[in-house]
A and B are shown apart, each in its own frame.
Chain A
C-alpha cells in the first residue's frame, strides 16, 4: 500500500523496508523519512553496508556460519578446543552461546532443523557435513544445542543416533528453570525435566 502523497522513490524505499521482519507500514515510513533527512554520507554508508554483506559474506566451509573469511575466525582460532563441537540451528544461536563466553570449543551450524511438516529432511540441513567433520577422529564430544522444541528435540535425538555408534560422546544442553525464573509459574514439563537433571551442589 503506497501513499500517493509521497514521491515514487520514497514509496519504493518504504516498500523495501516493509519487507524486513518486524517492520510494518508506520515503522517503514519513519525509517524512510529518517534516511531522507540524514546526510548523504550516512545514507551511502547504509547502502554500502547492505551491498557489502551480500558481496563479502558467505558460509564458512567448515562450520557453516556466516563469515567474510574462509574458514571463519572461530574455525581458524587455534586457542579453541578442537575436540569439542557445539551443534546449533542458526547463526543467531551461535552468537547467543558465544556471548556467554563459557564455551571455547568449535561450532557447527545446521542451517535449520528437521521438520516433517515443512518437508525439511536431513538432506536439507548440514547433517552430512557434520558427519564428514567427525570422520577425522579428532572430535571427542559433540554438544547438541538445538532448541528444546519438538523439531529441535527430534533433531537432537536423530543426531545422537547417528553419532553415538562412532564412539563419540554426545551431550545435550540442560533443560530447566531460567535464572531469575519462578518455580510457581514454571510449566510442569520444564519442572519435571529440571528435577530429572538436578545435580550436586
Chain B
C-alpha cells in the first residue's frame, strides 16, 4: 500500500458518518480522485482547512486494492484562495469551474493542462475583480482541453470560413457554427456575431497569463454566454447548479 503524493484542488467535500469526510479532488498526477478523510470533521488539527472547497494542496494518500476510494493521509496547503470567499459571486464562479471539471471529467483521467487551467483561473479570480468574461474564457479553454472543442472557425455543414460578410449561428447540439445559408431546419440555434466568435477563438488560443486583458463587449458577453452555456448543458445533460445560482444572484441588490 504505497503512499502517493500529488498536487490537488478540492472539487467537492461532503460529510460522511459521524466524523469523516468524503472529498473529491482534482489532482495533477491522478486526475479526479475521491478519497475518505478519517476523523476530518472532529479534529481540525490534522487537516485544518485543507479539505475546504478550492483548497490547493499537496495531497498524500494511500490506495487499497479494489477500492475506488483513496485513504487521505494528510494535505500540505499550497494556496487557500482566501479572497474568493469574500465575495459570493466569486464563490459562485469558482464553484462553476469546479462543477464543470467534476461533470466533464471521468475519475482518474489525468490531465495536467486542465489542472493548470483550474489553478490559474482560481488564482485569477482570487487576485482580481471578477471580469464578467472569465467564466466564458474558462469554458472555452476547458472544453478545448477535454476534446469537446466547438467548431468556431468554419460552418459545420458547408465548411465556409468565418468572415465578416456572412451571418453565423451557433448550434449547441452539433457543437459549432453554421452559416446563414445552412441554418434552416437545424433545430435550436443562437445568433452569434463574427466579433463574438473571434473573441472566443482568442480566449481559447492566447496565453493564459494575458487573458485578463480581454474585454468582452456586452453583445459578446451575451452571445457567448448563450452559445457556450447551452453547449455545456447539452454535453453534461443538465444545467450546472452553480450556473443557475450565479444567474439568481446577479441581481443581488434587488433581491430583498
User: A residues within 8 Å of B by Cβ?
Assistant: 21-22, 114-123, 127-128, 131, 149-151, 153-155, 157-158, 161-162, 178, 182, 185-190
Residues of B within 8 A of A161 (CB): 88, 252
Whether A117 and B49, one on each chain, are in contact in the complex, defined by CB atoms closer than 8 angstroms, is: no
- Say which residue of A116, A122, A123, A131 sits within 8 Å of B95 (CB atoms): A116
Residues of A within 8 A of B84 (CB): 150
B92-143, CB < 8 A from A = 92, 95-96, 98-99
Whether B245 and A189, one on each chain, are in contact in the complex, defined by CB atoms closer than 8 angstroms, is: no
**CB of B146 closer than 8 Å to a CB of A:** no
User: B residues within 8 Å of A by Cβ?
Assistant: 12, 17-18, 44-45, 48-50, 52-54, 77, 80, 82, 84-88, 91-92, 95-96, 98-99, 241-242, 244-246, 248-249, 252, 255-256
- Say which residue of A116, A149, A151, A189 sits within 8 Å of B82 (CB atoms): A189
| Additional A-B contacts beyond A119-B245, A151-B91, A186-B48 (7; CB < 8 A) | A21-B17, A117-B241, A123-B248, A150-B85, A157-B87, A187-B44, A188-B48
Complex alpha-carbon distance, A118 and B245, angstroms: 9
B25 to chain A, nearest CB (A): 14
Complex alpha-carbon distance, A158 and B248, angstroms: 13
Whether B48 and A187, one on each chain, are in contact in the complex, defined by CB atoms closer than 8 angstroms, is: yes
Residues of A within 8 A of B18 (CB): 21-22
Whether A187 and B256, one on each chain, are in contact in the complex, defined by CB atoms closer than 8 angstroms, is: no
Among residues of B, the one whose C-beta sits closest to the C-beta of A161 is B252
Residues of B within 8 A of A149 (CB): 52-53
Q: Which of A114, A115, A119 has the most CB of B within 10 A?
A: A119
Whether A117 and B249, one on each chain, are in contact in the complex, defined by CB atoms closer than 8 angstroms, is: no
Residues of A within 8 A of B245 (CB): 114, 116, 119-121
Residues of B within 8 A of A115 (CB): 95
Instruction: Identify whether the interface residues of A are mostly helix, strand, loop, or mixed.
Output: helix
Complex alpha-carbon distance, A121 and B88, angstroms: 11
- Say which residue of A127, A154, A188, A190 sits within 8 Å of B91 (CB atoms): A154
Whether A122 and B50, one on each chain, are in contact in the complex, defined by CB atoms closer than 8 angstroms, is: no
B166 to chain A, nearest CB (A): 38
Among residues of B, the one whose C-beta sits closest to the C-beta of A181 is B45
Whether A117 and B53, one on each chain, are in contact in the complex, defined by CB atoms closer than 8 angstroms, is: yes
B16 to chain A, nearest CB (A): 10
B7 to chain A, nearest CB (A): 18
Whether A157 and B86, one on each chain, are in contact in the complex, defined by CB atoms closer than 8 angstroms, is: yes
Complex alpha-carbon distance, A157 and B241, angstroms: 21
Residues of B within 8 A of A154 (CB): 85, 87-88, 91
Complex alpha-carbon distance, A127 and B50, angstroms: 29
Residues of B within 8 A of A150 (CB): 52-54, 84-85, 91
Among residues of B, the one whose C-beta sits closest to the C-beta of A166 is B256
Whether B88 and A158, one on each chain, are in contact in the complex, defined by CB atoms closer than 8 angstroms, is: yes
Whether A116 and B87, one on each chain, are in contact in the complex, defined by CB atoms closer than 8 angstroms, is: no
Whether A157 and B77, one on each chain, are in contact in the complex, defined by CB atoms closer than 8 angstroms, is: no
Among residues of A, the one whose C-beta sits closest to the C-beta of B10 is A150
Whether B96 and A116, one on each chain, are in contact in the complex, defined by CB atoms closer than 8 angstroms, is: yes
Whether B45 and A116, one on each chain, are in contact in the complex, defined by CB atoms closer than 8 angstroms, is: no
Whether B85 and A157, one on each chain, are in contact in the complex, defined by CB atoms closer than 8 angstroms, is: yes
Complex alpha-carbon distance, A124 and B243, angstroms: 16
A93 to chain B, nearest CB (A): 15
- Say which residue of A22, A118, A162 sits within 8 Å of B256 (CB atoms): A162
